[in-house]
Amino acid sequence: MDINVSSVGDMSNPEFHRDRREHGGASQRLDDDKLAELTEDERVEAGVDDYNPDEVPQATDPLPPGVPAYGRGVRDEPEYQEEQAEIRREEDLGELHDPDADDPFPPTRYEDS
């Protein structure tokens, strides 16, 4: 009879300790995150999955020293700034508003059309 020593040893881990105030049946307060992690580890050990997705390193390498973390963002572009100004102008003129029960549709005509 072959006994899986790792599974017997795992029973002494803190996540398997029972709260003595609960009844002897199944626990009513299971930690879903811990169970998902244990299940994924078991799937890898059994050969069902090739790897545990939570243990995969990041897909990008760290940047070399002296290289700034972020380049020019889309919000720094002049086109974005122009569109933001247009949105603010339309909001100030009352052309752009959130739909409500009284006026659920956008306007049919705009001043500059």
Amino acid of residue 93: L
Residue ranges of the domains in the chain?
A: 73-98
Q: How far is CA 95 from the centre of its chain?
A: 36
| pLDDT tens track for 34-49 | 888 888 889 999 998 8
Share of the chain above pLDDT 90, in %: 13
Most confident of 3-7, 20-24, 51-55, 58-62: 51-55
Rounded Cα gap, residues 34 and 77, in angstroms? 45
Closest CA to 16 of 4, 3, 34: 34
Cα-based angle 82, 84, 76 (whole degrees, multiple of 5):
70
